[in-house]
Amino acid sequence: MTGTDIAIVGAGAAGLMAAIWAARTRPNARVTVLDGAERLGAKILVAGGGRCNVTHERVSPEDFNGGSRHAIRKVLLRFDVPETVRFFGDLGVTLKREPTGKLFPTTDRARTVLDALLAGARGAGVIFDYPRRVEAVDYSHGLFDLRGAWGSLTARRVILATGGRSVPKTGSDGHGYVLARSLGHTLTPRILPALVPLLLPAGHPLTGLSGVSSEVVLALTQDSGRALVTVSGPMLCTHFGISGPAVLDISRHWQPAALDAPSVQLIVNWLPGESFESVDRALAAHPGSALRWLEGRLVERLARTLCAAAEVNPSEPLSRLTRDQRRTLAAGLTHCVLPVEGTRGFQYAEVTAGGVPLTEVDLKTLESRCQPGLHLCGEILDVDGRIGGFNFQWAWSSGYVAGCAAAESLA
Ligand SMILES: Cc1cc2nc3c(=O)[nH]c(=O)nc-3n(C[C@H](O)[C@H](O)[C@H](O)COP(=O)(O)OP(=O)(O)OC[C@H]3O[C@@H](n4cnc5c(N)ncnc54)[C@H](O)[C@@H]3O)c2cc1C
């Protein structure tokens, strides 16, 4: 059995950040990172379509779900966006801002980010040991004992940075939750895939428009018609249903809402800024056909599909439509119900909603309130951000807090 001062389980974004800051905080301490994966950083490499959306120019607690906003703010403030930009700059990764406010490496390569983190960690003296899947962690007499098929390791402090359950083939298969529970933690009642594409029934007209993307407003509404959540942005039609930033963001809210009340509806307005009334008025006043009116507003394939769904001939002059036909078309364009059947699941989810409640950690140190000497950071905690670099920002901020605190506590 070998020993270390700080064992970090998981070499994803949060674990690498924790490792760097633990080693920088206490240069003489032994900091060992264990990861079950054959190759490190799989999720960083696939992030942002291979470009890695490192953070966002403006990050606030309102960009997150899960734990309380107050709790999330406390952690984010400890390592904010300017600190993140400086940190990566010091590692040799310059970031550029895109018009959406998202920050990417100027190289447009996620590999740049991963290599810099690994070099930063190795430069600070961090030891990497992988593949080493940690099957169990016990604590007795002031020491942790981490075990797996590879043997065991004792540690004075442990940082759990095992991520959630999204894209399990990257190594984040949810076993971290088992470890956390074995050390006294509970989990939120629901652990669900988030930022995940949504499924429509086979043969739904939108599944025939694979590859068509459109700016939309999506609303999740209750029986009463009240919108629970509204999201605007691009929506992509696919062979299985819908995806794209607006869909991924609203997926976080759709699933729990649908579990609580199966009658919730996902409604798309294909014409952001327009309402049923404004479109109905405009259609009534237009001299040409529906296709002419929709030209420049929607791509033709989508326009034709929506006309077909409203049983309107797209080339017929609008003046020839009955009032009911025109109103059906206006409704289909601004208030189109999407009969979502489910999500594509954890295999395709960018993050996990739920996890270890933030109430079970000390927010100043991210040390467990259940097991002294244990710290948690990253996606294993009950925090998930919207699309745009927010999830990585949570990993950087929480990894920083856990890494520094674990090292400081060694004194
Ligand atoms: C396709 C995709 C694209 C994304 N794009 C972005 C983006 O552009 N911007 C953004 O902000 N977020 C993005 N995200 C989300 C972001 O990647 C995650 O929120 C973030 O990586 C979480 O970091 P983490 O370190 O907490 O967990 P993870 O990155 O999941 O890392 C956990 C690590 O722990 C290891 N591990 C798990 N269990 C064990 C065990 N028992 N023993 C040993 N090791 C273990 C795993 O192998 C893994 O390496 C994306 C996610 C996906 C899936």
Q: 112 and 41 in one domain?
A: yes
Choose one of 310, 343, 376: the last residue of a domain.
343
In this prediction, residue 1 has a pLDDT band, given cuts at 50, 70 and 90, of: low
The mean pLDDT value for 321-342 works out to: 97
* Whether residue 376 has its Cβ less than 6 Å from ligand 1: no
- What percentage of residues in the chain have a pLDDT greater than 70? 100
- Closest to 194 measured CA to CA, from 333, 404, 394, 368: 394
Give tens-digit pLDDT for 19-76: 999 999 999 999 999 999 999 999 999 999 999 999 999 999 999 999 999 999 999 9
Residue nearest to atom 27 of ligand 1 (CA): 163
254 alpha carbon – ligand 1 mean position (Å): 22
Structural domain count, the chain: 2
The mean pLDDT value for 351-375 works out to: 98
Choose one of 343, 372, 396: the last residue of a domain.
343
For residue 398, give the ligand 1 atom closest to its CA. 26
For residue 378, give the ligand 1 atom closest to its CA. 26
Q: 13 and 90 in one domain?
A: yes
Choose one of 308, 326, 343: the last residue of a domain.
343
Q: 66 near 383, Cβ under 8 Å?
A: yes
- pLDDT exceeds 90 at position 333: yes
What CATH number is associated with residue 99? 3.50.50.60
Q: 127 and 12 in one domain?
A: yes
The identity of residue 338, as a single letter, is: L
* Whether residue 360 has its Cβ less than 6 Å from ligand 1: no
Strand locations in 222-298 (E) = 227-237, 241-243, 265-269
- Whose structure tokens read 């996620």? 110
Q: 280 and 180 in one domain?
A: no
* Whether residue 350 has its Cβ less than 6 Å from ligand 1: yes
* Whether residue 45 has its Cβ less than 6 Å from ligand 1: no
Q: Which of 343, 383, 392 to mutate to test the pocket of ligand 1 (most atoms within 8 A of CB)?
A: 392
Q: 234 and 87 in one domain?
A: no
Burial class, 320, CB count within 10 angstroms (exposed 0-12 / middle 13-18 / buried 19+): exposed
For residue 10, give the ligand 1 atom closest to its CA. 34
Q: 214 and 96 in one domain?
A: no
Q: Which of 43, 95, 170 to mutate to test the pocket of ligand 1 (most atoms within 8 A of CB)?
A: 43
- pLDDT exceeds 90 at position 411: no
Would you state the pLDDT for residue 64?
A: 98
Would you state the pLDDT for residue 268?
A: 98
More confident position, 95 or 261: 95
Residue nearest to atom 9 of ligand 1 (CA): 389
Would you state the pLDDT for residue 74?
A: 98
Q: 279 and 321 in one domain?
A: yes
Q: 350 and 338 in one domain?
A: no
384 alpha carbon – ligand 1 mean position (Å): 12
**C-alpha to C-alpha distance for 216 and 336, rounded to whole angstroms:** 11
Q: 352 and 219 in one domain?
A: no
Q: 156 and 203 in one domain?
A: no
92 alpha carbon – ligand 1 mean position (Å): 22
Would you state the pLDDT for residue 102?
A: 98
Would you state the pLDDT for residue 211?
A: 97
328 alpha carbon – ligand 1 mean position (Å): 45
Give tens-digit pLDDT for 159-187: 999 999 999 999 999 999 999 999 999 99
Q: What is the mean pLDDT of the chain?
A: 97
Residue 398 backbone phi and psi in degrees, to 5 = -70, -35
Residue nearest to atom 35 of ligand 1 (CA): 10
131 alpha carbon – ligand 1 mean position (Å): 16
Locate 100 and state its tokens.
């959406």
352 alpha carbon – ligand 1 mean position (Å): 10
For residue 198, what is the enclosing H or E element?
strand 198-199
* Whether residue 133 has its Cβ less than 6 Å from ligand 1: yes
Give tens-digit pLDDT for 92-143: 999 999 999 999 999 999 999 999 999 999 999 999 999 999 999 999 999 9
Q: 169 and 25 in one domain?
A: yes
- Closest to 284 measured CA to CA, from 324, 319, 334: 319
For residue 53, give the ligand 1 atom closest to its CA. 8
Give tens-digit pLDDT for 202-234: 999 999 999 999 999 999 998 888 899 999 999
Q: 213 and 168 in one domain?
A: no
Q: Which of 76, 391, 393 to mutate to test the pocket of ligand 1 (most atoms within 8 A of CB)?
A: 391
Would you state the pLDDT for residue 262?
A: 85
* Whether residue 379 has its Cβ less than 6 Å from ligand 1: yes
DSSP string of 106-171?
TT--HHHHHHHHHHHHHHTT-EEE-S----EEEEETTEEEEEETTEEEEEEEEEE----SSSGGGT
**C-alpha to C-alpha distance for 19 and 376, rounded to whole angstroms:** 12
Strand locations in 238-286 (E) = 241-243, 265-269
* Whether residue 334 has its Cβ less than 6 Å from ligand 1: no
- Closest to 155 measured CA to CA, from 28, 3, 298, 53: 3
* Whether residue 48 has its Cβ less than 6 Å from ligand 1: yes
Q: 175 near 354, Cβ under 8 Å?
A: no
For residue 379, give the ligand 1 atom closest to its CA. 26
**Residue 329 belongs to what domain range?**
198-343
Produce one character per residue of 296-306: b if its CB has 16 or more CB atoms within 10 Å, e if not.
eebeeebbbbb
